[in-house]
Amino acid sequence: MDFLFQRTHWKQFIIFLFGGGLGALLNLGMTYFLTEFFGFWYLTAYSFGVISNIVFNFFFHRAITFQEKSNFKKRIARFFLTSVFIGSGIMLLVYVFTDVLKIWYMLSGILAIGIMSTINFFINKFWVFSQYAED
């Protein structure tokens, strides 16, 4: 259990959250820009925002958070699969918290993102960007 409390893990976790926050700002900024200035339907614009977020986060975490640059194809495929899993998990948790547990939808979103961000960090650390990923 001491493994989870090592300083390097906490430092990476903070950097991971910072990168995720930057990606979320990119997502929202692109959504707003495409909707307001180019007349895109908001869900189309949001889709472009999500894609830009995923691409940004991959390169941010690859270069800064985990500093692991080998096996590009394998890592980007794993990152994409992880993103789909985490996004689906967030949607499911928001539904359960809001419709089943009757928690306010905004608080549900915050809780779901908090839970899934922690899971996302560990999947990325030990599977996507593991230094022991097979070639």
Domain identity same for 98 and 64: no
> In the chain, what percentage of residues exceed pLDDT 90?
77
Q: Which domain holds residue 95?
A: 71-129
pLDDT at 58: 97
pLDDT at 134: 56
pTM for the full model?
Answer: 0.84
pLDDT beyond 90 at 131: no
Render pLDDT for 49-84 as a digit per residue (tens, 0 to 9). 999 999 999 999 999 999 988 899 999 999 999 999
Domain identity same for 43 and 82: no
Q: Which residue reads 């960090």 in tokens?
A: 121
Render pLDDT for 7-32 as a digit per residue (tens, 0 to 9). 778 899 999 999 999 999 999 999 99
Count of domains observed in the chain: 2
Domain identity same for 43 and 83: no
Whole-angstrom CA distances from 10 to 6, 14, 52, 53, 60 are: 7, 6, 26, 23, 17
H or E element at residue 133: none
